Amino acid sequence: MVKQDRKNDEKERIRELKNKYVIVGNTFAMPLSNVLNILSADVVTPFKIEEWDGFIDYNKIIPVKNIDTGKFVVITQNVAYRTSRVAISDGNILRKETSNETYLETPEGIYKILEQS
């Protein structure tokens, strides 16, 4: 009986985590499952080229895009985002059919979802 409860608790926790999003800056969100790590911006090597503002070495070279020149770097599989604000939230998913964009609606605001899981 205890084992079954533990499995149910684990499944519920995993379901909750799948619905969590990382808020990057004040305008973007991404699923928590897409975030590999959040590090200090000190690890960014500045090197402006095209749309990228630098890169980091995180098991491979990952380009960095500045949301704002903050002190955090949110690392995903292929891109890192530099920002001053990082928060975890959940909310309703809104879809804009005309442009195929998705947004996260939270009590704090509406954020464009950068990467879907």
Q: Which residue has the higher pLDDT, 56 or 97?
A: 56
What's CA 93's distance to the chain center, in Å?
15
Rounded distance, CA 62 to CA 55, Å? 5
pLDDT in the model for residue 40: 93
Tokens, residue 32: 């928590």
CB atoms within 10 A of CB 36: 14
Which tens digits make up the pLDDT trace of 7-54?
555 555 545 445 799 999 989 999 999 999 999 999 998 888 888 999
Domain regions of the chain by residue span: 21-113
Mean predicted confidence (pLDDT) in 59-88: 93
pLDDT band with cut points at 50, 70 and 90 for residue 117: low
The answer to whether 105 and 69 have CB atoms below 8 angstroms apart is: no
pTM of the prediction? Answer: 0.79
Q: 72: Cβ–Cβ under 8 A, 6 or more apart, which residues?
A: 38, 39, 40, 41, 82, 83, 84, 85, 86
Is the confidence at residue 84, as pLDDT, over 70?
yes
**% the chain with pLDDT above 70:** 83
